Structure 1
């Protein structure tokens, strides 16, 4: 069985959905598990609904806009009397009904119940359209298969139960399901983190023992840099699992950081291809380590730089580190880069949940701290160390680090 994943850009409008169907006809839709993200910018729009709900604004006006967008897309795909239009109405009725009845004050819980609806609706539209044009498939609810704990917005997968559930799927069939979501033991929806649809695809690939997994993007494959941010980038036609994991960790947006480990464990070949030019080979990620290393550039924006120093000039010791990293875990803040000296520690942080100021306030009770917001982490993989001067041009460098041939700098 093979696993395909299509992101929101691929189904942003009716023509996009039709193009996905074209790709499936070209590539073969037999014995396929297809994972799809929410349509276009739907996730962002549903996040605004949640914001409006918690700030006592008119969220119904926002849900109405999102619903109309989905109806407009469906009108370009289905006859007027198709059942999909009633389904769309029901999905948005459920959102409004949940928010009207909800008693939970927990933002992350409400977020997951509402924002996950984007994938539910997009997968139904795509599944029904494929049936409409003769590509038979079974729509399945990812929440029945991917089980997690109750860490809303960052669900931790129960691999044993998830694998047991997914192995019940008949590998001879073709299926459409959702990325990004699972459910906890009480069957409440839990999301797997932003951009988690790639991770969903890897979960299915691992549990199904898939022959291959392909993520379809609006780029030719994994490039030596984001073409929107860097000039003269080129395609990486092949990289190893290890290189891909490193690139994802450093912030390469084309691959979700959690995606690679499940695939590597079972040596499942992984392809990143273009849904615009699906005949092109794209990038293959595999266990083969015999390939040409090319200088690659990764820019991770919207980071925070936190410097921590002891007040009495004592060493940053193990007990200090334990306390600091306990606080990072408490506030769900991830470390992108770390640098330490005898009496200080500098951390480049990724703060998805807006907790860096709380972290700083807690740490400065015991330490001298300095928090710099809105910095960028620039990483050069396979750097030509004889020509590094060009990377410093026009940048204010707050921190830098060189490990082997990987150069990193935090800039303002």
Structure 2
């Protein structure tokens, strides 16, 4: 079997759904399982519903109505006859959402988040499945929660691989177009869970692993994986081939290539992953598989903006030892501050971090009691895999270099605009 993953951008409207049909006509749909995300920005819209629910906002009903209206317009654009059973199927899902909002008793934010946000994927796959049937492609709609079983860690659930493998092996019909949801699973009590960051890609990998699939293809609005973000670098080039190891290295440094947890099950069974364009499906795209690390062999640039460079030094000029570093990292963990680069000397310790939750001021108040703290806000971290002099010059030119770290394969530079 082949596993295809279509993200939210590919199914954001009626023309996107029609394009998925067109892609399948072009590349074939026998022995295919589709993993599909919520449509467009639906997850964001449902996060607003969750916020309004907890804030007891008078806007709750209207925020649900907005999600309904968005999907209803797509239904009207796709199906000429409003008596088509898809309208009743989607209305039933919205009724389930409204029932949950009216009757839920749990105050647990993460639990509520997973129960509500999951409707995005359930509705998008219902619409897509009905449209494929309407166009003459027979489908089997699968509720992924009956297949991917997890623990009860809401918003970042761990997969129970044995149970999941048994469910998938027993219940997925071959030689038909299967359609299921990305990102979701269910816990031992059958409550919905979600799989965390890049969850839909991970779902595709889970099914591929359990089905011993021939390949996984992630369909995007780009021709494949580039060696740099075209928004920041001119002349970004397509990478034809990336090894599993290299893709994990790139992801570690922050490239949005493929999340490592997606690659791990594929690497175990050497299942190739392709990143291809849903706009030009016959283009070759990028293959992530066993083989050469990079083809063509080029420097790969990763950019992280809005970083914070923190330098700590001991007040009494004593060494910063393991116990100090251990304490500092425990505080980073406590305040949910992500560390992207570390550099230390005998009496100082520098880190480039991401303060996603605006917790630095609280952290600084604690650190300042034991260390001299200097920091620079709004810096940019550049990472270059397989760097050369030209690549280094590209990121350092017309910038103030605040910190630089070089290993055999990788160069990292923290800069500030002049």
Q: What TM-score, normalized to structure 1?
A: 0.91
Aligned to 1:74: 75
Q: Deviations over 1:276-326 (max 9, x none)?
A: 000110011111116331122222334444444444444333333433444
Q: Which runs of 5+ in 1 are unaligned?
A: none
Return the alpha-carbon distance in structure 1 between the equivalents of residues 356 and 185 of structure 2: 20
Aligned to 1:203: 206
- Is 2:41 the partner of 1:41? yes
Counterpart among 136, 153, 159 of residue 161 in structure 2: 159
Q: Aligned runs of 1:202-281 on 2, under 5 Å?
A: 202-281=205-284
- Is 2:296 the partner of 1:292? yes
Q: Deviations over 1:165-218 (max 9, x none)?
A: 222233524311111112222222222224321111112112221111100000
Asked whether the 8 Å contact 2:250–2:257 carries over to 1, the reply is no
Q: Deviations over 1:258-287 (max 9, x none)?
A: 221211111111100000000110011111
Q: What is the CA distance between 1:351 and its match in structure 2?
A: 5.2
Return the alpha-carbon distance in structure 2 between the equivalents of residues 137 and 24 of structure 1: 12
Return the alpha-carbon distance in structure 1 between the equivalents of residues 107 and 308 of structure 2: 28
Q: What is the CA distance between 1:88 and its match in structure 2?
A: 2.1
Return the alpha-carbon distance in structure 2 between the equivalents of residues 163 and 51 of structure 1: 35
Asked whether the 8 Å contact 1:196–1:256 carries over to 2, the reply is no
Q: What is the CA distance between 1:373 and its match in structure 2?
A: 5.2
Return the alpha-carbon distance in structure 1 between the equivalents of residues 368 and 100 of structure 2: 40
Counterpart among 174, 181, 186 of residue 183 in structure 1: 186
Structure 1 residues 104-113 or 198-207, which shifts more? Answer: 104-113
Return the alpha-carbon distance in structure 1 between the equivalents of residues 329 and 243 of structure 2: 31
- Name which one, 1 or 2, has greater alpha-carbon Rg: 2
Q: Which runs of 5+ in 2 are unaligned?
A: none
Q: What TM-score, normalized to structure 2?
A: 0.90
Q: Classify 1:375/1:45 alpha carbon distance in 2 versus 1 (closer, same or farther; 3 Å).
A: farther
SS at the partner of 1:258? helix
Asked whether the 8 Å contact 2:405–2:413 carries over to 1, the reply is yes
Q: Classify 1:88/1:272 alpha carbon distance in 2 versus 1 (closer, same or farther; 3 Å).
A: same
Q: Classify 1:109/1:170 alpha carbon distance in 2 versus 1 (closer, same or farther; 3 Å).
A: closer
Counterpart among 344, 347, 356 of residue 343 in structure 1: 347
SS at the partner of 1:167? helix
Asked whether the 8 Å contact 1:46–1:114 carries over to 2, the reply is yes
Q: What is the CA distance between 1:101 and its match in structure 2?
A: 2.6
Return the alpha-carbon distance in structure 1 between the equivalents of residues 64 and 260 of structure 2: 31
Q: What is the CA distance between 1:337 and its match in structure 2?
A: 2.3
Q: Classify 1:334/1:160 alpha carbon distance in 2 versus 1 (closer, same or farther; 3 Å).
A: farther
